[in-house]
């Protein structure tokens, strides 16, 4: 089942915008980034498969869940593990992310 990635999700009542930023990898050596003050999840688009973007999104959502519900206690390894577990669960449930709603913020 394809699920469209929304431009805005709510985590604990906080609106979090999801968009591409194509220089993310060049500028930060990252595929994804959480910006807590701005309420953003930014994903690298260029040279990224849908699977890699979806795994990255699960990772960044895990950071947000940790921040909002868990007092930001996870280290990066824990975030990676839980994010991978979340992604594997979604795949096992037959859920596939459709990225067609997402664009660069200024497009
Ligand atoms: Zn991370």
Q: Tell me, what's the pLDDT at 25? A: 84
Determine the distance separating the centroid of ligand 1 and the alpha carbon of 22, expressed in angstroms. 18
Q: Tell me, what's the pLDDT at 106? A: 67
Determine the distance separating the centroid of ligand 1 and the alpha carbon of 59, expressed in angstroms. 6
Q: Spell out the domains of the chain, with CATH numbers in brackets.
A: 2-98 (1.10.10)
Determine the distance separating the centroid of ligand 1 and the alpha carbon of 60, expressed in angstroms. 6
- Phi–psi pair at 43, nearest 5 degrees: -125, 135
Determine the distance separating the centroid of ligand 1 and the alpha carbon of 31, expressed in angstroms. 9
Residues 6+ away with beta carbon under 8 Å from 18: 5, 6, 7, 8, 9, 40, 41, 43, 57, 102
pLDDT in tens, the chain (107 residues): 999 999 999 999 999 999 999 888 888 888 999 999 999 999 999 889 999 999 999 999 999 999 999 999 999 999 999 999 999 999 999 999 999 999 998 65
Determine the distance separating the centroid of ligand 1 and the alpha carbon of 102, expressed in angstroms. 20
């Amino acid at each position: 089942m394809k699920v469209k990635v929304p431009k805005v999700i709510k985590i604990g009542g906080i609106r979090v915008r999801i968009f591409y930023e194509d220089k993310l990898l060049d500028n930060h050596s990252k595929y994804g980034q959480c910006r807590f003050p701005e309420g953003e999840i930014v994903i690298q688009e260029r040279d990224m498969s849908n699977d890699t973007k979806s795994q990255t999104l699960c990772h960044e959502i895990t950071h947000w869940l940790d921040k909002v519900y868990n007092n930001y206690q996870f280290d990066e390894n824990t975030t990676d593990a839980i994010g991978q577990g979340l992604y594997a669960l979604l795949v096992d449930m037959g859920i596939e992310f459709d990225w067609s709603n997402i664009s660069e913020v200024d497009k």
